């Protein structure tokens, strides 16, 4: 019988994403997990984000910081310019997140196209870069002289966190880091991340290899 109670912030979403979250919460019982969970819901549906001008997203992020636990359903990011945008960006910024981790594993009974024996772990920046970048259009709409622009930025601290996590994940999975910022094309911008990789590898000597460019085939971790 579960006795420990943990408070979990639940960010409700849109359409199929919400349906999947509902089914996940249904099986997250104390008998199964060994801990009783107390769910606190925040409505991050597109309709409510528009109604609150994203204030509900900021409130959910603050609650996650307080509890240290959170779940989020998939949400709709509207394509219009000047809209409420992505709630994921606001949540990451609100909780101080730096790294996004996506792990792909083999499905039992399904043969991969190529021989893959290790999980593929995709690690990328959670904040900065295209997230929250200033952007706009100039010129006559729809004409040949119309141009679109975007001003992006990345922080050295985030580059360090991403690099460090990448090599630690590779060491734990006995894999190889496979990265590819276009630092030869953009030595100032992309080069900031590239320059953080070598010291991260030296700090973690068990890492299998230094990062390689996307143009060089190698094992992926």
Count the neighbouring beta carbons within 10 Å of the beta carbon of residue 153. 10
For residues 82 and 102, membership in a common domain is answered with: no
For residues 135 and 78, membership in a common domain is answered with: no
State which residues form the domain around 189.
98-221
Give the count of domains, the chain.
2
What would the pLDDT profile of 109-150 be if each residue is shown by its tens digit?
887 777 766 778 888 888 887 777 888 899 999 999 999 998
Nearby residues of 194 by Cβ (< 8 Å), 6 or more positions away: 181, 183, 211
For residues 145 and 91, membership in a common domain is answered with: no
What would the pLDDT profile of 47-69 be if each residue is shown by its tens digit?
999 999 999 999 999 999 999 99
pTM of the model: 0.72
Is the model's pLDDT at 207 over the cut of 70? no
């Amino acid at each position: 019988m579960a006795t420990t109670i943990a408070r979990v912030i639940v960010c409700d979403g849109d359409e199929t994403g919400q349906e999947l979250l509902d089914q996940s919460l249904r099986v997250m019982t104390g008998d199964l997990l060994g801990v009783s969970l107390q769910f606190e819901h925040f409505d991050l549906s597109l309709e409510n984000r528009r109604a609150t001008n994203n204030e509900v997203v900021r409130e959910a992020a603050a609650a996650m910081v307080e509890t240290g636990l959170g779940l989020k359903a998939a949400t709709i990011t509207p394509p219009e310019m000047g809209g409420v945008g992505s709630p994921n960006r606001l949540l990451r910024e609100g909780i101080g997140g730096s790294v996004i981790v996506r792990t792909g594993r083999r499905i039992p009974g399904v043969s991969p196209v190529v021989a893959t024996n290790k999980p593929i772990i995709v690690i990328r920046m959670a904040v900065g870069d295209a997230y929250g970048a200033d952007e706009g259009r100039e010129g006559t709409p729809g004409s040949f002289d119309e141009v679109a622009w975007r001003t992006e930025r990345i922080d050295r601290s985030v580059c360090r966190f991403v690099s460090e996590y990448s090599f630690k994940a590779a060491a734990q999975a006995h894999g190889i880091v496979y990265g590819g910022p276009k630092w030869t094309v953009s030595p100032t911008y992309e080069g900031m991340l590239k320059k953080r990789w070598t010291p991260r590898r030296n700090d973690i000597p068990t890492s299998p290899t230094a990062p390689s460019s996307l143009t060089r085939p190698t094992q992926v971790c």
